[in-house]
Amino acid sequence: MQLQDILYSQGFGTRRVCAGLAQQGHVRVNGRVCADASERFDAVDGLDFEVMGQAWRFHASAYVLLNKPAGTECSQKPSTWPSIYTLLPAPLRQRPQKGAVQGVQAVGRLDQDTTGMLLLTDDGQFIHRMSSPRHHVPKVYEVALKHPVDDRQVRRLLDGVVLDDDPKPVRAAACEATGELTLRLTLTEGKYHQVKRMLAAVGNRVEGLHRSRIGGLALPPDLPPGGWRWLGPDELALLKP
Active site residues per annotation: 111
Listed in sequence order, the DSSP H helices in 79-123 are 90-93
* Strands in the chain per DSSP E: 27-29, 32-33, 48-51, 54-57, 63-68, 96-97, 100-101, 105-106, 115-121, 139-145, 161-163, 166-170, 174-179, 182-187, 206-214, 217-218, 228-230
43 CB contacts (<8 Å, ≥6 apart)?
none
The dihedral over CA atoms of 215, 220, 225, 227, expressed in degrees to the nearest 10, equals -100
